Structure 1
Amino acid sequence: MDWITHEEDVWFEFRGNSPHQLVPGRFYKGTVDGYADFGVFVDLAPNVTGLLHRSELDRRLESLEWEPGDDVFVQVKNVRDNGNVDLGWSIRESESEFRGARIHDPDGDHDGEPIEKDRGRGRGGSTVIKTKPVAGKKTKPVGAATESAETESESEQESEQAAEPEQAAEPEQAAEPEQAAEPEQTTAADESAEGRAPTAKDVVDDLDTSASVEAESEFVEAEPVEEESVEEEAEEAVELERVAIDDIENHVGNFVRVEGEIVSVRQTGGPTVFELRDETGVADCAAFVEAGVRAYPGVEVGDFVRIDGEVERRRGELQIETEELTILEDDEAETVSQRLADALSDEARPDAIAPLVEHEPVASVGKSLLDAAEAIRRAVLESRPIVVRHTATADGYVAGAAVERAVLPLIRTEHPRDDAEYHYFTRRPLEEAVYGMDAATNDVTRMLEDRDRHDEKLPLVLLLGAGSTAESLDGLGLLGVYGSERVVVDAAPADDEVADEVDVLVNPAREGVDASDLSVGALAATLAAAINEDVRDDVSHLPAVSYWENCPQQYLDLAADHGFDADLVRELREAIALEAYYQSYQDKRELIADLLFDADEALAGHVSEQFRIKLEAEIETAQANLERREIDGVSVAVLDSDAFSHRFDFPPTELLVDELHRRTRDGDQFVTVTLGTDELYLRSTGALDFRAVVESAAEKAPVAGLAAAGIREGRIEFLSGARDEALEAVLAAAAEQF
């Protein structure tokens, strides 16, 4: 077979049921399942899905015109031990561009055959037209006695013979033409060819269409069957007791009944998969009509339903093969809804907040931390995606990673899919602490796409160290228009307007407490322990990592108790700061986890060394070009960052001005400024009312267009044509506050 040596020119239709049956290097025809930030999921067969990572594409992910359900060609690059399939890009995206097409049927007789020989036919070789969702092989309902494999096999054979009398006839006794079923009808034999034994209803349907057939078989003599009695027996056979989802693993191979809420619907290249949540967990329920066709199109996310089906284990994951799905209404729906609500309230709210160490600012927000933890846990239990927004700084990344560490295990426990954590948790760093319209529009666009593509619920948006000032109201308001829940956690003082806008605000200043020695990372680590007590030890060193200076001693001691000495804490902080700058819009989930939680000292040491080399080179140049002056007794240091720093290389201007201020400040009245083309960053040894500084400066230089662009970053924008006037006005306004 010459085609074996030229597999790069042939595409394959995969008819296996396990990713480990795939052959790396081969090109396969698949169906687009959906998109994620990092690539495209492609179904190669029912329950066999691979990831085409964005790095494998020959174009930007956003430019792909594929839609869910589209046929595409991909190359299998690798199949991992856990069953994950890595896919590669195929430059050929039409059948005509390949030299041939073959069947890959690992367990069948058609392996290697040309596709043309078997098109339009079922895997058993007979034409199959599905008219309703069907499960896999027929099994006993819950509670039925278990038979031996031999007895079960004999029973299935007899059932098939009873439903298909013409197959048992002697070869010379061929059926008359008028006895054959109409071509468009799906008979019990057709269903059996697909691997499912006929049910009582199949027998009734077959008798309706083939009543004139007189079965002549040495095994079975078909007796007249009244439709009504058969249907009554079928109804009695499916009278099942409800099973909790967390108990279905004890019923593999049996028929069960589950009730709950549909939390997502995804159409694969094979079945439609309904994700069902009850008061104990979430399960995937697959309903198959025919490949790529939506089963039960009237069922939507949020519907309360009853599903009867067989519990199966596929790729190590439990799944219910749906035999019947019923939308519940009125009292039945209310009963299920109330059952879920009661269980959700009991499970979502933590018992209490147990701070990592004694620290007054953290203790002051105990109730709001409980509210935030409950909102996040509830989102997981409701199968609601969580979007975390934090600043692209060391403190911001530490805060985001702490919450991520707590939430991902809960998602893995709640959802059976291997890729659930990527669907239900997203961390998107922000360039600044303002949650503006640009970031909000990005989030809203994505969440609406996910709602329409995957029937996902609208997400909970968690802002860490961002979104707490009035400059974020427009962005927060856009989320509110769509009803997306908003939780803001910030150590710096929050504005009153934000407290009125968001659903939960965690902010010590709102409790009248001085939080000048509190970082967002320390606050988020405490929140993480409240969300998931199991990660308390994992996140205990994070508060110390989040401080550049003046870290409370109790956090340093806590880190040391968990094996993180002062040098390792410093290296982690510097490494995170460097990685936060590069690809700042990416979460870098795995890399950040390796640094913060795997405690790889070699990795931390390598990255932090690069941090120090780059920072020292920039600081040396900056210090040599500082302009120093006195204004009304206030010492001032000004760096023209356009002229004496690399604007598009590490360190970013915000980190540069912070480090310059730490190294050059002298006395209690000192101001450091980095001056760019149309913005400046301001740092001061005294507590400045930043908005008041901008207002006063705007009065002094009305033509400069001065505006507070970032309260948290100390960033002020101005018109480039009035650069000198803007600088002088800001310095004078700052000096007035000392």
Structure 2
Amino acid sequence: MSEKCEECNGKGYSVTGTAKCPECKGTGKSKSIDLMKLSEKDMANFLKNGSSCNNCGGTGEIEEKEKCTACSGKGVFFKCKVCGTSMDSLYEGDEVCQSCAKKQVVYKLDNSCTLDELEVGKMYHAKVRNIADFGVFVDLNSNLRGLVHSSNMKGPMEVGEAVIVSLKEIKPRGKMDLVPRKLKEYQTVELEKKLPVKLASEIPQMVGKKVKVQGEVIQVKQTAGPTIFTIADETGQISGAAFESAGERAYPEIEADMIVAATGEISSRGDSFQLEIQSLKRMTGPQEAEILQRIEAAIDSRAEPYEIEYMVESEVLEKLRPAMKKVAKEIRKAIIKSTPILLRHHADADGMTAALAIEKAIIPLINEVNGQDGEYHFYRRAPSKAPFYEVTDVVRDISFALEDAARHGQKMPLVVSVDNGSTLEDVPAMKQAKVYGIQMIVVDHHHPDEEVDDYLIAHVNPAHVGGDFGMTAGMLCTEVARMINVNVEKEIDHLPAVAAVGDRSEAEEAKMYIDMVSDRYSLQDLKDMALALDFQAYWLKFNNGKGIIDDILDFGDHKVHKNLVNLLCEQANEMIDEQIDVCMSHVKAQDLPNGAILNVLDVENYAHKFTFPPPGKTSGEVHDKLCKKYEGKPVITIGYGPDFAVIRSKGVLMNIPKMVRELYEEVKGGGVNGGGHLVVGSIKFVEGMRTEVLSKLVEKIGSVGVE
């Protein structure tokens, strides 16, 4: 191999000046000439102009030259094809250095190679294809087959045997005459066709042409026919088809996340384009690092979130802007890289509005990258019944992810947890996710614990900047969604208001979000949507309710939305009224030392079970009734069962996550865990320690301050 010397532009010398020609003494004329050797035309020219000096060409001057020191006057640099070192002289047809030339060179042909890459006299790796009476046919690659004639064979060969052959002759119509060679020592040089490297964005203009593409394998999908490899570079994705045999995995050594080089011909299939793969190789070392760095730099630039003005003025939101931009960028990056996104959310009005805001932003982008059915392969939304990411949740998620990886060659997903994920209760599930390389993002407003950040790549929580739970997940996620895809703003701008009333936020931002959509939705409309979401979430259990949730939140037919919300609210209110009628007569009240009024209700024995409203909702509705009864006074309501307690409060300065940790330490054998917001939450414990846990809990509540 050779490269032109840039120092002398391939001439081998540099011109340092000019001097008088020594032959003609600067005249430019020849001293003497043999007239007998001149043609008639040259004779006429000589008689008219005289003869020019052969040394200087008639200029009378010659260039003073200096040999190029960079290339030693050769004009080119020679590099060994085996080891890549520079060479002073040539060996083995300009390809190998003197050291490598001591060993024989045997070429291993890439599947992209054709007759154009073959040279008579050189040796090649081959495999015996079949045996005939007159010789043996061998394959040099998937495209090239030649004959080892029986007259050239020195011993028997077997089908499938790897052999080395020398190319004796290329006959008409591409037939090759090969001679077997036995070598003790040799160098293998991989040879592939020199094809232009094209980007994904250039593929539509290359139909019918052979090209090479380089990038990261995003997905490997086995069909009943070929194996489909999705390869991404810095400009987009290329779909490549490789065929071994019907339903058989081609290139089984190539998996998702590998950096590869693929060669083949571009074909058109309707509105899409496909690379018919002839060769697919994993890139390693410096080449892999260079391609990966190039792709990552381009993706990082493309993933930059939109710069937006928030829909409301908020000091908390402004302080959270860097964290929110990081979340938006990580989600955009996952979409560009075709990393599946799993959206986890708490199964209540705030969690569902938060999730739907993100969903509406990302689905158009996912389909843009992966085709119109992309959302069905690269996105899933799942509710969490508990106010944290349970082990039950993560086991389901890991199981689905492993199944998708096995069946479709997909990467492990990015888990985006909204209205969940900030507390110690989330950590056990996060640890399992980490084992499988699953990355996680959290957008939440529950009081956070520092430990969770060890398992997250991005985390948004108002408590990090001095805010509180009044800034709900639905508000936060709607603004993040706008950073991801600014085009969805008009579609989702009512979601923060629904989240605000659903989570009973009293933050100033909540009032602004509600006022912002008051021309379309009254306060009662927003409350009805929130109640309809809570009611439907109870019956959906672990189902995401796609379609139904869209209709409740007015993303489809407005008439269907109104009719559905009215019906669900009617059914929900009937069940709530019936439950409250039963429960209120069983509420026990007492005054606490700090002046708060404590109300307790045994929801296990004095409320309908296994129906709506569940214990948490029941406790909340009872609490609302009692707040009206004791208006202006600090009120606490505890709804308890055999092994749990739900806490609702107003005007009491509690820190439930802190209380839970203290109860865990102080009530030995109580098995206390749980959490939530500072003044609203739930705890679990072992049934046999209920009396001790609840007594200690009441003692702690009675010792805190009140408003």
Q: Give, in angstroms, the shift of residue 663 of structure 1.
A: 2.4
- Rounded to whole Å, the distance in 2 between the matches of 1:210 and 1:294 is 36
Q: Is the 8 A contact 1:705 1:717 kept in 2?
A: no
- Whether 1:456 and 2:410 are equivalent positions in the alignment is yes
- Deviation string 1:557-593 (CA, Å, 9 cap, x unpaired) is 33235x3443432332222212211232122223223
Deviates more, 1:268-277 or 1:573-582: 573-582
Change in Cα spacing, 1:721 to 1:246, as seen in structure 2 (3 Å) is: same
- Rounded to whole Å, the distance in 2 between the matches of 1:271 and 1:422 is 22
- Whether 1:572 and 2:529 are equivalent positions in the alignment is yes
- Selected match of 1:620 from 570, 581, 587: 581
Q: Give, in angstroms, the shift of residue 459 of structure 1.
A: 2.1
Instruction: Look up the equivalent residue of 2:402 and give its one-letter code.
Output: L
Q: Secondary structure at the match of 2:313?
A: coil
- Rounded to whole Å, the distance in 2 between the matches of 1:498 and 1:481 is 15
Gaps of 5+ in 2: 1-109, 113-131, 152-170, 179-189
Instruction: Look up the equivalent residue of 1:591 and give its one-letter code.
Output: I
- Deviation string 1:179-211 (CA, Å, 9 cap, x unpaired) is 9999x999xxxxxxxxxxxxx985x53888999
- Selected match of 2:552 from 569, 575, 595: 595
Q: Which has the larger radius of gyration?
A: 2
Q: Which residue matches 1:297?
A: 252
Q: Is the 8 A contact 1:574 1:611 kept in 2?
A: yes
Change in Cα spacing, 1:509 to 1:353, as seen in structure 2 (3 Å) is: farther
- Deviation string 1:612-658 (CA, Å, 9 cap, x unpaired) is 22222222322233222323332122222112222211122222222
Q: Give, in angstroms, the shift of residue 669 of structure 1.
A: 1.7
Q: Secondary structure at the match of 2:241?
A: strand
- Whether 1:365 and 2:320 are equivalent positions in the alignment is yes
Instruction: Look up the equivalent residue of 1:283 and give its one-letter code.
Output: I
- Selected match of 1:553 from 507, 511, 528: 511
- Whether 1:242 and 2:200 are equivalent positions in the alignment is no
- Rounded to whole Å, the distance in 2 between the matches of 1:403 and 1:396 is 11
Q: Which residue matches 1:690?
A: 656
- Selected match of 1:709 from 646, 666, 674: 674
- Deviation string 1:660-686 (CA, Å, 9 cap, x unpaired) is 212212233211111212211111111
- Selected match of 1:385 from 340, 358, 361: 340
Q: Is the 8 A contact 1:627 1:639 kept in 2?
A: yes
Gaps of 5+ in 1: 1-131, 135-177, 187-199, 212-221, 230-234
Q: Is the 8 A contact 1:696 1:733 kept in 2?
A: no
Instruction: Look up the equivalent residue of 1:718 and give its one-letter code.
Output: F
Q: Secondary structure at the match of 2:547?
A: helix
Change in Cα spacing, 1:613 to 1:484, as seen in structure 2 (3 Å) is: same
- Whether 1:530 and 2:483 are equivalent positions in the alignment is yes
- Rounded to whole Å, the distance in 1 between the matches of 2:609 and 2:268 is 55
- Rounded to whole Å, the distance in 1 between the matches of 2:566 and 2:363 is 27
Q: Which residue matches 2:395?
A: 441
Q: Is the 8 A contact 2:478 2:492 kept in 1?
A: yes
- Whether 1:427 and 2:384 are equivalent positions in the alignment is no
Identity %: 29
Instruction: Look up the equivalent residue of 2:435 and give its one-letter code.
Output: V
- Rounded to whole Å, the distance in 2 between the matches of 1:479 and 1:617 is 42
- Whether 1:673 and 2:677 are equivalent positions in the alignment is no
- Rounded to whole Å, the distance in 2 between the matches of 1:567 and 1:390 is 25
Pairing of 1:74-153 with structure 2 (within 5 A): none
- Rounded to whole Å, the distance in 1 between the matches of 2:286 and 2:643 is 63
Q: Give, in angstroms, the shift of residue 226 of structure 1.
A: 5.5
Q: Give, in angstroms, the shift of residue 319 of structure 1.
A: 3.0
- Rounded to whole Å, the distance in 2 between the matches of 1:546 and 1:264 is 37
Q: Give, in angstroms, the shift of residue 393 of structure 1.
A: 0.9
Q: Is the 8 A contact 2:199 2:233 kept in 1?
A: yes
Q: Which residue matches 1:57?
A: none
- Selected match of 1:505 from 439, 447, 459: 459
TM-score (norm 2): 0.68
Q: Which residue matches 1:349?
A: 304
RMSD: 3.5
- Rounded to whole Å, the distance in 1 between the matches of 2:216 and 2:654 is 52
Count, aligned residues: 533
Q: Would you tell me which structure has more strand in proportion to its own residues?
A: 2
TM-score (norm 1): 0.66
Change in Cα spacing, 1:573 to 1:719, as seen in structure 2 (3 Å) is: same
Change in Cα spacing, 1:210 to 1:276, as seen in structure 2 (3 Å) is: farther
Instruction: Look up the equivalent residue of 2:703 and give its one-letter code.
Output: E
- Rounded to whole Å, the distance in 1 between the matches of 2:524 and 2:296 is 48
Change in Cα spacing, 1:396 to 1:676, as seen in structure 2 (3 Å) is: same
- Rounded to whole Å, the distance in 2 between the matches of 1:618 and 1:209 is 93
Q: Is the 8 A contact 1:133 1:322 kept in 2?
A: no
Q: Give, in angstroms, the shift of residue 704 of structure 1.
A: 7.5
Change in Cα spacing, 1:615 to 1:251, as seen in structure 2 (3 Å) is: farther
- Rounded to whole Å, the distance in 2 between the matches of 1:646 and 1:550 is 28
Q: Give, in angstroms, the shift of residue 347 of structure 1.
A: 0.9
Q: Give, in angstroms, the shift of residue 472 of structure 1.
A: 2.1
Q: Which residue matches 2:359?
A: 404
Instruction: Look up the equivalent residue of 1:636 and give its one-letter code.
Output: L
Q: Is the 8 A contact 2:146 2:176 kept in 1?
A: no
Q: Give, in angstroms, the shift of residue 395 of structure 1.
A: 0.7
- Whether 1:520 and 2:482 are equivalent positions in the alignment is no
Instruction: Look up the equivalent residue of 2:582 and give its one-letter code.
Output: T
Change in Cα spacing, 1:181 to 1:351, as seen in structure 2 (3 Å) is: farther
Q: Secondary structure at the match of 1:364?
A: helix
Change in Cα spacing, 1:351 to 1:527, as seen in structure 2 (3 Å) is: closer
Q: Which residue matches 1:25?
A: none
Q: Secondary structure at the match of 1:644?
A: coil
Q: Secondary structure at the match of 1:439?
A: helix
Q: Which residue matches 2:697?
A: 730
Instruction: Look up the equivalent residue of 1:295 and give its one-letter code.
Output: A
Q: Secondary structure at the match of 2:540?
A: coil
- Selected match of 2:278 from 312, 323, 333: 323
Change in Cα spacing, 1:709 to 1:314, as seen in structure 2 (3 Å) is: same
- Rounded to whole Å, the distance in 1 between the matches of 2:217 and 2:663 is 56
- Deviation string 1:506-533 (CA, Å, 9 cap, x unpaired) is 112112x233421111001111111111
- Rounded to whole Å, the distance in 2 between the matches of 1:587 and 1:496 is 30
Q: Is the 8 A contact 1:283 1:415 kept in 2?
A: no
- Selected match of 1:630 from 584, 587, 591: 591
Q: Which residue matches 2:443?
A: 489
Q: Which residue matches 1:663?
A: 625
Q: Which residue matches 1:205?
A: 145
Change in Cα spacing, 1:252 to 1:489, as seen in structure 2 (3 Å) is: same
- Rounded to whole Å, the distance in 2 between the matches of 1:343 and 1:381 is 10
- Rounded to whole Å, the distance in 1 between the matches of 2:657 and 2:461 is 20
Instruction: Look up the equivalent residue of 2:145 and give its one-letter code.
Output: D
Q: Secondary structure at the match of 2:145?
A: helix
- Rounded to whole Å, the distance in 2 between the matches of 1:569 and 1:181 is 85
